[in-house]
Amino acid sequence: MGAEQSTYEGPPEILEARDLSSVAKYMKSSECRNVFVMLGAGVSTSAGIPDFRSPETGLYANLARLNLPYPEAVFEINFFRENPKPFYTLARELLPGRFRPTPTHSFIRLLADRSLLHTCFTQNIDTLERRAGVPSHKIVEAHGSFASQRCIDCSTVYDDEKMRTSLKTGVIAVCPECEGLVKPDIVFFGEALPQRFHHSVPQLRKADLLFVIGTSLTVQPFASLATLVPDHCPRVLINLDAVGDLGSRGDDVLCLGKCDEVVRDLCKALGWEAELDAAWKATENSVVDFDEIPPVDAQPDKGEDQRLREEVEDITEKLERILGAKFQEDSQTSEDGSESRAESSAPASEEIPLVQEDNQPLEVKVFVQKNTDEPKEKL
C-alpha cells in the first residue's frame, strides 16, 4: 500500500520502499528519533464527531436549525459578540467527554510512550488526543480547543467546571472581572492562532518522519506544515484521499483508506497491535453522560439575558408603583378644584408628576444599558 499512489517516479532515498512495512522498519531504526504528526477532522469521525464540510453529515450542513446568516458565522468572533447562543448550542454537542478517542488517537499515544513523538499538531478542537493519554506538552492545538477558556474582552481565565456547566446547560458564561463574554479557547475566524503554534513550527526542521492523518490540507497555515519538513524526511499520508503535495517526494507513502484500519495495519507491521488494543481499551470508560441535569447546588449563576429580564421587571414594577401613586394623588387634587401641578409655577426642586393635561399617564420607556457607568434606568 502506498507506492501505487505516488507521483514520484524514482526510487525512495530513505525508505526501502514506499509501503507500510518499510515505514515500520524505518521507525524501528536508530535513524528515526523525531516523529511529527499532523491530525485533521478525519481522525475523529469514527468517534462520532462529524467533520465540518462533508455534505449532509458535516457540521456546517447541520446548522440550519440555529438560524445562522451563514454556517461559518457560528465560529466568527464578531457574530459571537452579538449572539453567543448558537455557538453554545453547538459546543454542547462537541463537549469533551461525549466521545471516546479512536484507535488512531491511541496510536499517537504509543508514539509518545515509546519516546518517538516529538510534536502532534492537530486541527481538532475535541481534545481527544489528551483523552487518549498523549502528553499535553507534546500537543499543539493549532485551532485551539475546549481544554481552556477565557473572557474575549479582558482575557481573564475562566474556571473549568463553571465553563463545563455553562456549556452543558446553555447558560452564557460571563467574566467575573469585566462581565464580558466567555468562550473556550477555540480559534474563531477573525482571531489569531495560538502563539504556541507559531513557536512550534520551526521544530519541523528536526523531523525524521511525518504522519499526515485525516486532513484535507485545505486550511492555511496548518496545511503548509507538511511542506516544512526536510526534503529527506519520509512523509506518510493516512487519509481517504490524496491531498496537498503528498506523493511528490521520493519517500512519500500514501496509504488511502480509513484511518483506524491503516493505523492497525501499521501497528501489525511494528508488532504493536496488542499495545494498540490495550491503549484503546483504556479509553472505553472515558465517555460521560451529559444528559444528566446538574444538582440544584451546582446550577450556574444566572446568565446575562436572565439578569437583564429580571432587572427590567424590577424597574418596571417600581415605576408602576410610583406612577400609580402620583396619578392617584393628582386625580384627588383635581377633584378638589385645586390648581393642577402641571400648570403651576412649582419650584425647580419639586418633582413634576408624569401626567398629561387630561390626567392620563405619560408613556414611560425603560432602557437597560450594559457595561457602562451610566445609570441603568432613564425616564
**200 in a known ligand binding site:** no
- Measured between alpha carbons, how far is 292 from 168 in angstroms, rounded to an integer? 9
CA-to-CA separations, 228 to 11, 117, 202, 243, 284, in angstroms, rounded:
22, 17, 8, 16, 36
**41 in a known ligand binding site:** yes
**239 in a known ligand binding site:** yes
- Measured between alpha carbons, how far is 110 from 260 in angstroms, rounded to an integer? 14
**43 in a known ligand binding site:** yes
- Measured between alpha carbons, how far is 352 from 330 in angstroms, rounded to an integer? 11
**51 in a known ligand binding site:** yes
**344 in a known ligand binding site:** no
What is the sign, positive or negative, of the torsion defined by CA atoms of 194, 89, 72, 120?
A: positive
Contact between 251 and 22 (Cβ < 8 Å) = no
- Measured between alpha carbons, how far is 219 from 123 in angstroms, rounded to an integer? 9
Here the cell at position 90 is 453547538
**44 in a known ligand binding site:** yes
CA-to-CA separations, 95 to 99, 193, 295, 302, 352, in angstroms, rounded:
8, 21, 19, 21, 56
Length of the chain: 379
Amino acid in the structure at residue 103? P
**126 in a known ligand binding site:** yes
**125 in a known ligand binding site:** yes
- Measured between alpha carbons, how far is 15 from 26 in angstroms, rounded to an integer? 7
**151 in a known ligand binding site:** yes
Here the cell at position 146 is 475546549
**154 in a known ligand binding site:** yes
Q: Is 118 a catalytic residue?
A: no
Q: Which of 118, 137, 143, 198 is catalytic?
A: 143
- Measured between alpha carbons, how far is 156 from 71 in angstroms, rounded to an integer? 29
- Measured between alpha carbons, how far is 169 from 92 in angstroms, rounded to an integer? 8
**216 in a known ligand binding site:** yes
**240 in a known ligand binding site:** yes
Q: Which residue has the cell 401641578?
A: 341
**229 in a known ligand binding site:** no
Contact between 29 and 200 (Cβ < 8 Å) = no
**372 in a known ligand binding site:** no
**185 in a known ligand binding site:** no
**Which residues does the annotation mark as catalytic?**
143
Q: Please give the annotated binding residues for NAD(+), written as ranges.
A: 41-45, 51-53, 123-126, 215-216, 239-241, 259
Binding residues for Zn(2+): 151, 154, 175, 178
* Known binding-site positions: 41-45, 51-53, 123-126, 151, 154, 175, 178, 215-216, 239-241, 259
